[in-house]
Amino acid sequence: MFLSNPAKSFLASLFILISTAGCGFVGSEENDSAPVVDGPKSKIPFRTKEPESFQCEIVETAGDSVRRIRLAKKGTWRRIDFDPGEKTHRAVLQTDKEYVIEFARGAYAESAAGSGGQFSELTHELLNNLRHAEFEESAREGSIIRYTVRPADSEASEIVVHYDESIGMPVKQEFFSTAGEARTLQFLVELINFRTEPDADAFAVPAVFRKLSMAELLARSN
């Protein structure tokens, strides 16, 4: 998996969509009925509810490796594009149904709509591993507030979160390993090109793409 150890939980649900597609990535009634258990109150000192409508890109950098993901949301509609512009570009779209779109092949497959549970809120995924960490405000610049975060389960790591008050979302996370006074950047996650209105065609399958069964699409993709 692309994610480094300090950031395994970041966007984990999104990668699971693609990496386990052959095992069934869409929602199920069995999962929908799972009970929800309230955990301890979060220590995150800012709003974590994402906007009802937005589009953005996530850029993940680990050493020389860089990966892009484009996200779009409008009400209950969702779209995730993996590696946009690359030969491996694939999208998962949820509107009236759920679709997997393969751009290199000009093909798509569809299934009945699920609950949308696999499309976890972006901010939740960004901060999932920090809910019981200690936050300390360290700087402010315009609408950006910078927090130094010390995870509760690790004394050898430190995370710096850049939170943009103007959009109400974290726009950068830097994951450091620490050894005494030394800090080494291990992993960087940035939210860029944020806007409150998605592209007009974000929630439509390209009209010229041919339809395949889900089994055929996934079998030929593996």
Report the alpha-carbon distance of residue 185 to residue 158 in Å, rounded.
9
- Residue 206: its pLDDT value, please? 93
* DSSP-derived secondary structure letter, 132: T
Domains annotated on the chain, with CATH: 5-27+50-221 (2.50.20)
pLDDT at residue 156, rounded to an integer: 67
In degrees rounded to 5, what are phi and psi of residue 191? -105, 120
Rounded Cα distance, 94 and 116, in Å: 7
Please state, in angstroms and as integers, the Cα–Cα distance from residue 40 to each residue in 44, 150, 170, following that order.
Answer: 12, 17, 22
User: To which residue do tokens 């509810």 refer?
Assistant: 49
* pLDDT tens for the chain, residues 1 to 222: 333 333 333 333 333 333 333 333 333 334 444 444 444 445 777 776 778 899 999 999 998 999 999 999 998 899 999 999 899 999 999 898 889 999 999 999 998 765 444 454 455 455 555 556 788 889 999 999 999 888 766 666 788 999 999 988 889 989 898 888 888 998 899 999 999 999 999 999 999 999 999 888 877 665
CA distance 51 to 126: 14
Q: Cα–Cα distance between 84 and 115 in angstroms, integer?
A: 25
Q: Collapse the DSSP code of 217 into the 3-class scheme (helix H, G, I; strand E, B; otherwise coil) and give the result.
A: helix
Give the integer Cα–Cα distance in Å for 100 and 212. 10
